[in-house]
Each structure stands twice: as C-alpha cells, then as structure tokens.
Amino acid sequence: MKLTEIIASVKPADKEIFKQAQDRTANLIMPPRALGRLNDIGEKICSIQGTMKPKVDKRMVFVMAGDHGITEERVAAFPQEVTGQMMGAFVAGMASINILSKQAKSKVLVADIGAVCDVNAVPADPDNTFIIRKIRRGTANFTKGAAMTREEAEACVMAGFEIASEMIQKHGLNLIATGDMGIGNTTPSSAIGAVFTGETAEVMTGFGSGIDNEALQRKINTIKRGIELNKPDKNDALDVLSKVGGLEIGAIAGVILAGAYHKIPVMIDGIISSAGALIAFGLCPLSVEYMISGHKSVEPGQIKMLQYMNLEPLVDLGLRLGEGTGAVMAMHSVEAGVRVITEIATFAEAGVSGKEM
C-alpha cells in the first residue's frame, strides 16, 4: 500500500456514536459530567472504535529508535552510542519503559529505524518485540543540508505504519502508544515544532536530557541555522521531515497513521512523539481525531505543538524521559474513562431519581 492510499483511507471518527456516548454520559448516576476529562475520554474512545462497548485491554507501545547527525553540533548531554545501548536495555526488559509498561499491562515493541550501530539481541520477555527496519544509519547534520532525502523520509513513515499494522493485526491491539529513543532527538523535534507552529526556536527549545545553558544556546542557534538553510515547507510534511527531522520521528508518524487507519486510539508521548504527531497531522489532518496526548512534558515546545493540533495532555507528572513512558502512564486514565462510560449505570438502569432542575 502506498502512503497516499493510506491517507485517503483514513476516515473521521464516528460522530453518531460520539453523540450516543454524550447522551449516555448525560444520564450516568452523577452530576452532569462530574468526572470531567474521564467523561471526555470515554466518549472519544467510543467514537474512535465506533462502538458503545469499546475495549482498551490489548496494548502496545512502539519505541522507535534512530540516530541524529545533528549531535555533531554538541547539542546533546549523552554520546551517540547510548542510542544502541538503550535499545539493548529495552530488549532486555530493564529500562523505564519496560517497567512502566508492565504496570500498564502493555507490550513493548522496539524498532531500529536508523541507529548508527547494530543491536543483535533477543528479547528476554515474551511481551517485548525487537524489529530491525533500518532506513539509514542516522540522519545527516541538518546545519549542512537536509537530514535525509524525501524518499527516506517517506520510507520511515511507511516503516512505522507497516510495523504497527502488523502488530495490530497479530495481537488484536485496541490501544497503542508512541515512544522513542535517539540521542539528540529533541533538537529535530523542536525544529519541526518551530516550522509548523511558527514559534521561535527560543520558545520551542528546552534542555532535553540535561544540557547546560551554554549548550541550550548552541542548540537554539543550531535549529535556527538548520531552518534558515533548508527552508522546510510547513505545508509539505514530508519536506519538513526530510529537511530537519529524524528517522524515528517519521516512524512515529507512521504508527499514528496506522492507529487512524485501523480505528485505534493512539497515546502520544512527549516532545519527540508530538513532533511525529505533527508530521502525521500534516500528512493526514484526520489522524488527530485518533490521538490522545498522554502527558505534558517539561520541554516547553511540546505544549505549543499540542495547542497547534488542539490536543490537551491528560496528566502532568513532570516527565522528561521519552521512551513512551508518559504515554503508557496515561493508559490508566484511558482505561478509567472507558470503564466510566461502559460500566457506571444510568439513572434509569440504577433506579435513581434524576436531577430536578
């Protein structure tokens, strides 16, 4: 299937089911919309899955990994080899995303989309999956030219779509999440955010994994130089991705498109996943109807990205890790929202008197 065919096949969430869900919420045995965002979530999941009996019990987080030539500009706190080392930790089941995914009853898939190194490992846990779909070994330094070719950018998106689609069909998934691994990837993410939102690099750029003030200014200047040199077109998402993006960011966009294509809610993680969401949104505006922002990151650019897509994060835990950790933590809230609309009785069902005025 071609990317254009995938985009054309994405349909809006079910508006009739959404109305039915709102009607049920209005009649639950509680004051009107007393459970706030949980009521909103339940209704949205109903409309996404096209049923008043939605389920979110079969879950997977897709951790997409890739390296970045922009690390040459000393914008990251850790050396590039950490990307491969962390992929190994994910596969071994010993990283933060593994532990939090177990709590959230979610499987973990790790995909090497563009790491510089090779990781040859067998998952130690049956709930883990490791796939190698390397498009190229890291992006180029986008202060010297485009990060990748347009063909490579599209290949990243397609890799994410195909990987997610295969797992959705294989495991019958009904809730998926996006995650990432890639040293230096907050820099292309902030650049993508600046292009789409029109905000300055100063507004969109944060400390990433822990750089100092001097490195932060270098990071801001790097983003400015990359955008000025490459002149990415915000009206062409593949152009933005190819010029200042990342391999794993493109794959995240593909995972999101797979969720929309298969009518499955997609939990969006922090700033890197939000950059992938911007690419998916640019390619297919309807895809945003299938997105749920898991959490508010401490990275300042992320909230600007979410506002651009009219998404509101579910929780704010002060996270800045990535990997998909905030997205899987928010799965608890999504399950609660689904239980609210499917399991709490209405006034009529419970034989409880309704509101009089």
Residues 6+ apart with CB under 8 A from 37: 314, 333, 337
Catalytic entry in 154, 162, 289, 323: 323
Phi, psi dihedrals of residue 109, rounded to the nearest 5°: -115, 130
pTM for this prediction: 0.97
Rounded to whole angstroms, the Cα distance separating 258 from 174 reads: 12
- Tokens 């510089």 appear where? 116
Mean pLDDT by 10 residues, the chain (357 residues): 97 98 97 97 98 98 98 95 95 96 97 94 88 97 98 98 98 98 97 98 96 96 98 98 98 98 98 98 98 97 98 96 97 98 96 78
pLDDT of res. 93:
94
Question: Contact, 187 vs 251, CB < 8 A?
Answer: no
Residues 6+ apart with CB under 8 A from 149: 242
> Interior CA angle at 269 toward 44 and 290, to 5°?
25
* Residue 214 annotated in active site: no
Query: How far out from the chain centre does Cα 323 lie?
Result: 10
Give the Cβ contact number of residue 345 at 10 Å.
12
Tell me: the pLDDT tens digits for 79-116? 999 999 999 999 999 999 999 999 999 999 999 999 99
Burial group, residue 36, by CB count within 10 angstroms (0-12, 13-18, 19+): exposed
Look at strands 106-114 and 266-268 and give their pairing: unpaired
H helices within 172-246, ranges in order? 186-197, 201-204, 213-230, 237-244
pLDDT of res. 272:
98
> Interior CA angle at 101 toward 96 and 104, to 5°?
135
**Nearest Cα residue to 74 out of 187, 192, 224, 181:** 187
**Nearest Cα residue to 252 out of 153, 175, 169:** 153
Residues 6+ apart with CB under 8 A from 245: 139, 147, 148, 153, 188, 191, 192, 275, 279
**E strand or H helix at 132:** strand 128-132
pLDDT of res. 158:
98
Q: How would you write 14-63 as a 3-class SS string? A: CHHHHHHHHHHHHCECCCCCCCCHHHHHHHHHHHHHCCCCCCCCCEEEEE
pLDDT of res. 357:
62
Rounded to whole angstroms, the Cα distance separating 292 from 277 reads: 10
